[in-house]
Chain A
């Protein structure tokens, strides 16, 4: 490119930007916002994944293989055999458990019981006395509750060496003594604590059992051989795998959830693209004369294109940079919300550090810039192809309106058909992300429909206003003119409308999806959650189902005179081939209501109680591609066993799916009758409050249990539900803000653009008030069109979100339900927002300086 390009660029672009700083700023802002949201979401996702991986790393240390028994604990007697297996260079046993700390509400510690004699080759941390560099091994080995915690934990709770803290395990209070500090080269979660393995077994009531055995290999290439050797001495339900595998499993599990967040975050960027398109085409229109002059002076088409693309790139780069900074700030907000959602839905994570991967930044910046170039391409291309003679034609000729030909209409219809096709593919063959392609085509399709709709609306409105004028005899010139203007700069107006409509569509789509989801869950809860009281160890609220209810407490409830019957519930992960299945063990389930997809409910329940079989959730079936009548193979302590599927039920508690097994079956094969929670059904005459009080007096004086009434549990479930969608709401709100900024921007451009035309109107007798009214009419119509098209497009989008994306990713059946009230209100607030966005530009238009704007005439 010639050197003079940069000179021209300086004259025509930079000078222009300096003269219209507001335009430049809005452009930069829209890119920045899009990039920021995208980056923040990525950072939040990465941070959550990293936090989990760090947890795995911390526990696994430098282990190359790890033996676990997912269903229960490993018998400790396996350890000497595993350690002596050929190919093992080092082995160490591990006991792991969670304690909650009643003195610090909400706090928990993940306690690792380590064998300090054998774990030196494994650990990535060192316990020392508070005085770093010393280690009192006698205190470490001798004290029942001697524990090492992180410096951060010590600082957070103002602890000193020797302080005692209460720790709750299985609703019993224990005393821990803070005696050591965990030191490590890398930072790790402050919820980690380490103690001697012997005292950890005592603390968790797990004498004779281990959580894991970690191994290092003499030769890492012999992994397969070593695993085969180990298999010979291990119980059949023990799993041998590289510790990193758990990270991979979790990454996979979180994949769908995080992809959805990423997709949501990209929507702001898409809305932003409409804005860029708009400003660049405005810029082209405004400088048509300059383009003509440049072209006549020998500047090539390519250079003209480069001029406008260059402008977009300058603005886009600046915007993307601001976006990176903003994303960093926004990430701090999102990280907590994302981590909380992941903790309540998937695995316990505590994000201590925001993970900043330079590549995330590079990618975010690139995506931002790419979106700018993509949206500037068409107008820049149009500028390049402009005939000089046409461009040089001065005066009031506005941009040549593109014929609202049926081409747009067809493109729209084809897009919508494509959306349907991709939806079908996403559901039938996968991959699930085709659902997002479908969503994209829905938005694109309705955007393509905008020019056609606008043009028809414009002529319809003109006729309407004329008719009104005729009937009332009162002139509505401003309204009529406004309607006409809509179709005069049709393409640009269409873009504005499409941008706003896309934002509206997103809002509507997400609202309908969340509402439907909520309604579905509510119906489901009404049918399944019918017990009167729910009782669980309080620690399970904080750290998941890790504590058990003492048998005496279950007995107390079952035999209380106010109680008709109790159900017990136990939840854990069991190995199923190479995979892990969430299994719930229930007892006394005559009262538990399942909603089966098909089949005779009572007959299924009879089988469930009487035969060795399982019930599986709809999500489970979809995830593992199972069918009714098939069976699943679970690994029991005695080996692999087939369990026929007796029925498939609706469940909305987890996207990974869940397997239900009767307690009778579980005890028979796993010899374990511990329970995590109890549901109590009261007699008609029984009082829930009195029973709760009696239970509290007997077992829960120190708040070891949470007791939910039916209603309070529902409230809690919906709290979790709403928290899950909190991030979604944030992203949606940001997209709407981008869109409203868009309206403001478009109107400002429109007015600047038409200043000459407006000046002529003033010159031939139009009052400032009329000009303002004209513009407000235009804005109002623009808003109304966007609202109507947006709502329609949003409804279609919700179908894709509910019927395609949710099903493909998570396998939930959501009954479509419409939030009528908020849907009905949507057009009004969009309309109002558009009007508000139009007020300032319209008001300014009334103050146009005639002489300056008419000079070219």
Chain B
């Protein structure tokens, strides 16, 4: 019998075990830094950092560091005297590093019960942590990140270059046409990033730009949805773009796909599914599981007179983890806006290609 190697369940599956979880409602008043912290009345939450950085010699690195919280019991229902081993929320984190010049990709997953404080959320300074993987806030608009893999330890210092941008309309981001499948979702679309990579006692400094996503909800994925394609881009002209396309099990895009266009002043424009079109143009097939990922896209935003092509900085950026296997990697984009050439870098996320979400993969 094959071992169940991991045991995490995908977060977005609907249903909350009868426990009393809050759902995302329109009209949420975002407030920072308050909303950088955990929202433990909601079942699912994540803090997502991605970025492209360069070392002194110009070598490019892409990174992803994500902390997930999946509620088991709402905070209010916890008996404070009960066993410390009883888990209120699942804590897990992913760290991936793409060495573009060496064409090398590494990824890790960490999970912990956190019974002895080795993992948790919100202890004042730290927003989330598992062992030495840490997300700490440093003032109102700066973050310190730390993570490690077999090669070494990475430390990142992020300072917001733009204000947080709330996605969707009226404080909610709609994920499915049926009611209730919504989330609270904001990004800091550009953070100036410095950091070091410590390998064998030596430190390798780097600098670049990061993107921070923070999203929380209860059961936002609907029946019939298979996954999503998500993209974030930081253009050289100081603008940013975020798009996501919910995919149905039959392969069609869901009408609730949407996006946000952020101008160089930080002004956000909400994009509905009719406002953009994403067409896959390049594919990569996973050797691990045979999944076919669309890692190249042609994207048009007719309203913005914008058309561009997105290509992966490295084909294999698949996080083959149990149970959630997905592709998340550094990308380059180039195209035209108003007839002028534009270039940008960012991250692409492709989920639901390697087996259904919401179930334990084996």
Contact = CB atoms under 8 A, between A and B. Distances in A.
Contacts of B1: 126, 132, 183, 185
Interface stretch (B54-62, B80-88, B191-199, B302-310): B80-88
B3 A142 contact: no
Given A76-B84, A80-B116, A142 B8 contact: no
A221 interface: no
Contacts of A134: 359-360
B86 A128 contact: no
A142 B4 contact: no
B112 A128 contact: no
B101 to A, nearest CB: 34
Given A80-B116, A117-B112, A141-B90, A135 B85 contact: no
Interface in B81-115: 81-87, 90, 111-113, 115
A139 B17 contact: yes
Contact of B85 (A115, A128, A140): A115
B225 interface: no
Contacts of A77: 116
Contacts of B70: 138
B17 A135 contact: no
Interface string B11-33: 00000010100000000000000
Contacts of B87: 141-142, 196, 198
Given A135-B7, A137-B7, A207 B82 contact: yes
B111 to A, nearest CB: 6
B85 A197 contact: yes
Contact of B86 (A80, A93, A117, A199): A199
Given A128-B4, A138-B17, A196 B9 contact: no
Interface string B50-83: 0000000000000000000010110000000111
A202 B116 contact: no
Interface string A586-618: 000000000000000000000000000000000
Contact of B113 (A117, A120, A138, A142): A117
Contacts of A115: 85, 113, 115
B362 A202 contact: no
A118 B90 CA distance: 14
- B9, B19, B70 — which one has the most chain A CB atoms within 10 A of its CB? B9
Nearest to B92: A117
Contacts of B116: 77, 79-80
Given A126-B3, A136-B9, A185-B1, A202 B82 contact: yes
Contacts of B85: 76, 93, 113, 115, 196-198, 201
Given A115-B85, A126-B1, A126-B3, A137 B113 contact: no
Contacts of A126: 1, 3-4
Contact of B8 (A113, A132, A137): A137
A142 B21 CA distance: 14
Nearest to A136: B9
A77 B84 CA distance: 10
A207 B83 contact: yes
A136 B323 CA distance: 12
Nearest to A140: B7
A768 B100 CA distance: 113
Contacts of A788: none
A765 interface: no
- A117, A197, A198 — which one has the most chain B CB atoms within 10 A of its CB? A117
B109 to A, nearest CB: 12
Contacts of A202: 82-83, 86
A629 interface: no
A116 interface: yes
Interface in A105-142: 113, 115-118, 120, 126, 128, 132-142
B7 A198 contact: no
Given A117-B112, A142-B73, A135 B83 contact: no
A712 B90 CA distance: 53
A138 B74 CA distance: 12
A650 B182 CA distance: 76
A134 B361 CA distance: 8
A138 B112 contact: no
Contacts of B82: 198, 202, 207
A198 B17 contact: no
Query: Could you tell me the dominant secondary structure of chain A's interface residues?
Result: mixed
B86 to A, nearest CB: 4
A388 B141 CA distance: 118
B17 A142 contact: yes
Query: Could you tell me the dominant secondary structure of chain B's interface residues?
Result: loop
Contacts of A199: 83, 86
A45 to B, nearest CB: 32
Interface in A171-229: 183, 185, 196-199, 201-202, 207-208
A140 B87 CA distance: 10
Contacts of A141: 72, 86-87, 90
B123 interface: no
Contacts of B4: 126, 128, 133, 135
A142 B85 CA distance: 11
B140 interface: no
A140 B83 CA distance: 15
B84 A117 contact: no
A201 B360 contact: no
Nearest to A202: B83
Interface string A48-89: 000000000000000000000000000011011000000000
A79 to B, nearest CB: 7
Interface string A827-843: 00000000000000000
B275 interface: no
Interface string B299-320: 0000000000000000000000
Interface in A757-791: none
Contacts of B360: 133-137
B362 A138 contact: no
A196 B86 CA distance: 8
Nearest to A199: B86
Contact of B111 (A80, A113, A117, A132): A117
B84 A138 contact: no
A607 to B, nearest CB: 42
- A137, A198, A201 — which one has the most chain B CB atoms within 10 A of its CB? A137
A122 to B, nearest CB: 12
A761 B17 CA distance: 98
B113 A133 contact: no
B118 interface: yes
B113 A118 contact: yes
Nearest to A117: B113
A138 B9 contact: yes
Contacts of B7: 116, 135, 137, 140
B1 to A, nearest CB: 6
A126 B81 CA distance: 30
Contacts of A201: 83, 85
A806 to B, nearest CB: 48
Contacts of B111: 117
- A77, A113, A198, A199 — which one has the most chain B CB atoms within 10 A of its CB? A198
B74 to A, nearest CB: 11
Interface in A446-473: none
Given A115-B113, A126-B1, A137 B90 contact: yes
Given A126-B3, A142-B72, A198 B83 contact: yes
B72 A138 contact: yes
A134 B6 CA distance: 11
22 contacts: A93-B85, A115-B115, A117-B111, A117-B112, A126-B1, A128-B4, A133-B360, A134-B360, A135-B7, A136-B360, A137-B90, A137-B360, A138-B17, A138-B90, A141-B86, A142-B73, A142-B87, A196-B87, A198-B82, A198-B83, A201-B83, A207-B84
Given A117-B113, A133-B360, A198-B83, 9 more contacts: A80-B116, A135-B360, A136-B360, A137-B9, A137-B90, A138-B70, A142-B17, A142-B87, A196-B85
Top 4 A-B pairs ranked by shortest CB distance?
Answer: A198-B85, A198-B86, A201-B83, A117-B113
